[in-house]
Amino acid sequence: MKRVSEIQIGDANVAILGDPHAGRSFVRGVSLNKRGLRERSLMDDFKADLARAKNFDAHICVGDLFDRWAVPYNVVFDVAQAYTQAADASRDTLFYSM
């Protein structure tokens, strides 16, 4: 996942998050006892990036929000919950996903 970039669009301070690929799974070359750790880390980073949205006038997610066309329901719910919490905490921030 690309880190959040900050840009100015007119008078607006905008955060751009590229390709979070929520739901991506890492299994090749990963031992059984470590499976799920990288996936959890990516979701934690995504949630942390959204939590910082209150510092911006707008937050734009570009690229692939999900890793595949079909992802597990828990991934969809986690992403939806992260956006809902970010929107609740950032009432003055506009959220876009492209």
For 19-75, the pLDDT digits (tens) are 888 878 877 887 877 777 878 888 899 999 999 999 999 999 998 888 888 999 999
Among 24, 22, 23, 84, CA closest to 50: 84
How are beta strands 5-9 and 94-97 bridged, if at all?
Answer: unpaired
Give me the pLDDT at residue 1, please: 47
DSSP for the chain, written as a single string? -PPPEEEEETTEEEEEEE---BT----TT--GGGTTHHHHHHHHHHHHHHHGGGGSSEEEEES-SBSSSS--HHHHHHHHHHHHHHHHH-TT-EEEE-
pTM, to two decimals = 0.81
